[in-house]
Structure 1
């Protein structure tokens, strides 16, 4: 008998490995959360518990050198992930399409979603307090499973319907943009800070 696993869903995880840059990004994110009045207004209007620059700023790599340094590092990680996924880019490279800051207050959550019009999406964790939530990833086949039985609690990770990833500060996570994901509410006592991005 032979059983094979087919149609793998990749998740890339790596440390940024630059504590000084993480500290600079922490400062920059906290500063933006105070100074970006349009982002604060959008966050309040849309029920975002905290602050995001998602709908207000599209020039972060030019606004602060720390974001520019981050993008240069991300480009290398995204290129490595694209090779692992065997993307046929026909000699081209994936390029950064958007980059935004998230400063989520304790108990904050972000419901399940995908990132349309992108190839690779990801997040780097700048501040992840104790008991703060990381990322919840959903098996993309769920809508087709109809009468499939649920999985046992001890099922291997590649057979689970949901996978929870709680990274450390400075961790980069990358996934294909069609993969549905969410940020569950955590029990942390301090702000959870991350920078999210899309490549196309």
Structure 2
């Protein structure tokens, strides 16, 4: 009797396997359909399921904002103001020389430009609007508050000048508005933020993105994004104003 039962088991399994209809949606993407003849049951690809298995999503994207001040008269006024500062700000010129900055920056010498000059006060009003749009696009949960300008400084970069890769600690959004941009005066180069986490990853096609500005351009990014200024290969100065926003 045991011998007969052992022969029956394979037959029962064969009957079940040819008779059942089931779908491996989450594993293989294949679907079984019974025909009128159990012995003729066939398999075919469930293409919808297969495509679902191949889905790729982008998680935690890196946001980069490109806008424009849209007011040529303000840009011209800022050009005059920056050149005046580069001439009169003795402390800023001293700091720039001591730190190898080819040109002039008010980064370490002046922290009140919007109060000091109406042109920068007007610029701040424009930047507040751009930053508010960017903060919304980033999905910041600010509880009804707005990001606030924390620091604003100007840069006059001479031919041959550059600024090596860096981030902006202790702030949320950073950016630059471009005032005078001669051809070849240096793009903004943004670095893939995953580089420091690629333990044993193979090379990728694009680990840097170059953003080319024009007079009046506003670039915004989250402050943790590493970036640098490419060398100014033009024959004249490039003028910009950089800033940080906090909450």
TM-score over 0.5 (shorter chain): yes
Matched, 1:143 2:189: no
Which secondary structure does the structure 2 equivalent of 1:39 belong to?
Answer: helix
- CA offsets per residue over residues 52-82 of structure 1, 9 Å max, x none? 0000000100111000000001000000000
Matched, 1:74 2:127: yes
Q: Structure 2 length normalisation: TM-score?
A: 0.77
> Once superposed, what is the RMSD of the aligned Cα atoms?
0.8
Selected match of 2:240 from 185, 194, 200? 194
Which secondary structure does the structure 2 equivalent of 1:34 belong to?
Answer: helix
Aligned to 1:60: 113
C-alpha distance in 2 between matches for 1:183 and 1:193:
12
Q: Structure 1 length normalisation: TM-score?
A: 0.95
Aligned to 1:134: 187
Matched, 1:182 2:228: yes
Matched, 1:49 2:102: yes
C-alpha distance in 2 between matches for 1:196 and 1:10:
18
C-alpha distance in 1 between matches for 2:162 and 2:105:
12
C-alpha distance in 2 between matches for 1:150 and 1:16:
38
Deviation of 1:139 (Å): 0.7
C-alpha distance in 1 between matches for 2:200 and 2:235:
40
Deviation of 1:27 (Å): 0.3
Pairs aligned (count): 193
Which secondary structure does the structure 1 equivalent of 2:139 belong to?
Answer: coil
Which secondary structure does the structure 2 equivalent of 1:178 belong to?
Answer: coil
Deviation of 1:151 (Å): 2.2
Aligned to 2:67: 14
Aligned to 1:124: 177
- CA offsets per residue over residues 151-198 of structure 1, 9 Å max, x none? 23xxxxxxx211011111110000000000000113111001000000
- CA offsets per residue over residues 135-160 of structure 1, 9 Å max, x none? 000011101113222123xxxxxxx2
- CA offsets per residue over residues 84-130 of structure 1, 9 Å max, x none? 00100011110000000000001101011110010000000001111
- Where does the alignment leave 5 or more consecutive residues of structure 2 unmatched? 1-53
Deviation of 1:4 (Å): 1.4
Aligned to 2:14: none
Higher deviation after alignment, 179-188 or 189-198: 179-188
Aligned to 1:165: 211
Q: Tell me which structure has the larger Cα radius of gyration.
A: 2
